[in-house]
Amino acid sequence: MFFRSFSLLKIVCPLLLIFTIIASTSGQPVKEFQIVRTHPADIADRKLISEYPLLNSRSEISGSYQIIQSGDMKEFLISIEGRASFPIYPMSSFVVSKDGNRVIAYGRHVDHSVISPMQIRTYSSNGELIASLDTDIWPPYCLGIQDNGDIWIAGKDGYRGVSFVLRKISSGGETIWERSLPPKAPMRLVFSLDNSSAALELFDEIEDTRALLHYNRNGDLLHELAMPSFFSGTEFVSNEIVFLHSAYEWRLYRLEDPLSLISAGRLQGNPLGAYPVTGFPRGDTFCLLTTGDADARGYRLQAIDSETGQILAESFFEGAPSWQPYRICRITERENIELLLDENRSFELAIE
């Protein structure tokens, strides 16, 4: 049975859609997404003027930054959407909180030849420096920022230390709590949709395994999951369900006692970008973006039921996929999917 065609309301750029015959895990035909609108991607203009995407705490593009010359040193000019621009001290990474009230500069100094601990500077949305922290947490480390600007950081405690810690710091720069971690390298730190809990991914280089630790907002360890080293990419698709994937398959786990596997599936392409999975705010559906096939041709977008793993909708888009550090799919206020394929194509899609 062939899919129904897209309902195309507005076209600003050319698009070639390739229709395929696909069946869901239940054996029923899978419907395609409805294209609500298409428009040029904002990132195209940013690159033309040598600007780079500024990400928020959910890794969505929410502004831009560029390098400027200020006296004898370089600074970074931060521009938050709908707000004024301001220069900040050079660091490795910049994130604006989802609520827009904090800009966090973190990492090492822009001179990457210098080995240093994690440094954090928090700014207000008008550029006022609120806190400057030298954490004494050394590589390997990872950092996550909650929607209100609170910071979680995991890494090695001290330059010559052998222990690892997880620390929560308020948006004002005060340490809220600190917890000890197993002697494994922190790889990824993500938050539930309502910011009530966090999932920390660790890698054991000696045993070649990974572990997933689930914490509540107070730093209490709720669940622990051992997994093979080739599984990674942890993402919350609801407040109680996490998604994990390898290069070939995915799994859904429910965060309960005991922790349980809900469903698993095969990937028809390679997970695309640092954030190939995005959950809908209501928590019952998530979208998965991969390359169109194992040979990395085109884009494949799927909407999947969080409770059952059933594919609800699927479409294939022609193009040349590339890895991106930001979330290529985001959920709009109307709970449609905004898909940023490349510099010239962005679509708003609805599940019919």
Residue 176 lies in a domain: no
The pLDDT of residue 281? 94
What mean pLDDT do residues 189-216 have?
A: 96
**Domain assignment of residue 281, given as a range:** 1-38+276-331+342-352
The pLDDT of residue 115? 67
What mean pLDDT do residues 129-144 have?
A: 91
Residue 309 lies in a domain: yes
Residue 336 lies in a domain: no
Residue 348 lies in a domain: yes
Residue 32 lies in a domain: yes
| CA 89 – CA 104 distance, rounded (Å) | 11
pLDDT band for 44, please (50, 70, 90 cuts).
very low
Decide the pairing of beta strands 73-80 and 277-279.
unpaired
163 Cβ contact list (under 8 Å, min separation 6): 156, 157, 180, 181, 183
The structural domain count of the chain equals 1
H or E stretch at 123: strand 119-124
| Residue-wise pLDDT tens digits, 256-304 | 988 899 999 999 899 999 999 999 999 999 999 999 987 878 999 999 9
pLDDT band for 47, please (50, 70, 90 cuts).
very low
Residue 48 lies in a domain: no
Residue 145 lies in a domain: no
DSSP 8-state symbol, 90: -
